Amino acid sequence: MSRRGRGRRGSSGVADKWKLKQWFTIVSPPYLEEKQVGTTPAIEPEHVIGRTVRIGLMDLTGNIQDMNAIIKLRVVRIDGNIARTEFYGYELSRDFVRAQVRNHRSRVDTIQDLKFSDGAVVRVRIFCVTPTRANTSQEDAIRKLMATKIQEMAREWTFEAFVLAVINGEIRKELRTEVKKIYPVKILDVEKVKVLKLPEKVVETISAE
């Protein structure tokens, strides 16, 4: 009898806590059009800071060509019941990437840490697949070119500009044009982005919340 009583009181406590929670609407950053990407409950607004959400890039852009990409957003600020986010990561689906690599093709990768003038730091992985197998010297030349070119491009970008360059395909277009001078390209794209440090102004906002 006492066990059932404790169970009912416990359930009531959980229900009461749930009633105290309010719902926050999660929106994408301004440069990604502040679209609603989800909702999340919390008793206190500050509890929402730092939460992350993963969504299909196609859900933001409406472009079917983005169906294989996922982006990660992190809540950095609360305005009323709006949870505002910042870009926090990107990746192509493993199945998609795996499907591009065949026995008669070469895959070349480069992983680079990029630093921007606004204090942000990201780690980006770029992969290139050739339609036929390249030799070792050609693969080395492709890898070196991709690494050098992405570092050159990064010098001109802020964090926001970089994110847009990933999403709108600017990076893959620029690199593909250059790599084709060395060897034909089947596919070249940004495979993954990991944010190591957000822009200073965003970090300051998070610390102030």
Q: Residue 203: inside a domain, yes or no? A: no
- Rounded CA-CA distance 53/72 in Å is 6
Q: Residue 206: inside a domain, yes or no? A: no
* Per-residue model confidence (pLDDT) at position 201: 83
Helix (H, G, I), strand (E, B) or coil at 71: strand
The domain boundary residue, chosen from 45, 74, 92:
92
| pLDDT profile of the chain (209 residues), mean per 10 | 50 61 94 95 92 95 94 96 97 95 94 96 98 97 98 95 96 97 97 96 70
* Per-residue model confidence (pLDDT) at position 97: 95
Do 110 and 193 lie in a common domain? yes
101 within 8 A of 179, measured Cβ to Cβ:
no
Domain tally for the chain? 2
Do 88 and 167 lie in a common domain? no
**Could you tell me the pTM of the whole model?**
0.87
CATH of residue 142's domain is 3.30.479.30
* Per-residue model confidence (pLDDT) at position 13: 56
Q: Which domain holds residue 37?
A: 2-92
- Rounded CA-CA distance 99/149 in Å is 26
* Per-residue model confidence (pLDDT) at position 1: 46
Q: Residue 12: inside a domain, yes or no? A: yes
* Per-residue model confidence (pLDDT) at position 208: 63
The domain boundary residue, chosen from 28, 57, 92:
92
The domain boundary residue, chosen from 92, 121, 143:
92
Query: Under 8 Å CB-to-CB from 66, ≥6 apart: which residues?
Result: 56, 57, 58, 60, 167
Nearest Cα to Cα of residue 84 among 122, 58, 45: 45
Do 182 and 100 lie in a common domain? yes
* Per-residue model confidence (pLDDT) at position 204: 66
* Per-residue model confidence (pLDDT) at position 203: 73
* Per-residue model confidence (pLDDT) at position 98: 93
